[in-house]
Amino acid sequence: MRLRNVKNAEEIINIHSLVVKEVDKNTFNNSNPIHLEIGSGKGDFIIEMSKKYPNLNFIAIEKYSGVLVKALAKIKESNNLRFILFDAKAINEIIKVNIEALYLNFSDPWPKKRHAKRRLTHPDFLLNYESLFKKAVNIYLKTDNKAFFAYSIVSLSENNYIFKEVSLNLTNEDIETQETEYERKFKAQGVTINYLYATKKI
C-alpha cells in the first residue's frame, strides 16, 4: 500500500491534545487498566473501543504521520485515549507503565523470509511485549494473511503462549470483537478474517 503525504501532518500531530511522546503514570491520571494497539491505522478500532469501554485507558501507536493524522481527524477530545507517533520496535522506550492487553490488527505481514524479524509476532517483539505486562501477557490478533497467521501461531506456541481463542473465519464465529476499517473492507470483499487470543503468565 502506497502512503500519500498529508500536508501539515507533522504540525497537526505536534499540537493535538491527544498525542503524547510517552506513556507514564501521569498520562491518564487514573489507575484504570491500559490497553495498547500497535499499528492503529486510521483509528476506527481504538476510537470505538475507547467509547465502548470508558473505564479502560487506550494507547494507539502508529508509525506513519500521514495515517495517524487521519485518525486524529476523527476525534478531538477523550479522557481515556492517547496516540503516539512511533515505531514499535523500540516500544519499551515510550511505554513506562504496565498494560493489560495488546491488539495487533492487520499488521504488515512482511511476507519475505529475510524480513521475518520485522513481523510484530517475531520472538524479538514478543520478548519486548512481555516487559510491558505485570502478571500475564494478553495478545489479540486479527489478519487476512494466512501465512502471517500461521507464522504467528508457531511463534507464540514456541514462546509458551496458550491459545484461548482461535478462528480461521471470524465472521462465522460467535466471538465478540470490535471491527476495524480493514475488517469491514475485507468482509465486503468476502475475504476470510483470521483471529486469535493468546496469553502467557510471566
> Which cell goes with 123?
520472538
> Which cell goes with 133?
505486562
| Residue 44 bears catalytic tag | no
- C-alpha to C-alpha distance for 37 and 32, rounded to whole angstroms: 16
3-state DSSP: the chain helix, strand, coil percent, rounded to 5?
35, 25, 45
Backbone φ and ψ for 172, nearest 5 degrees, come out as -95, 5
> Which cell goes with 1?
500500500
Q: Which of the residues 108, 124, 144, 174 is marked catalytic?
A: 108
Cα dist from 58 to 24, 37, 115, whole Å = 13, 8, 29
- C-alpha to C-alpha distance for 57 and 76, rounded to whole angstroms: 16
- Look up cell 497537526; give the residue: 12
Residue positions annotated with a catalytic role: 108
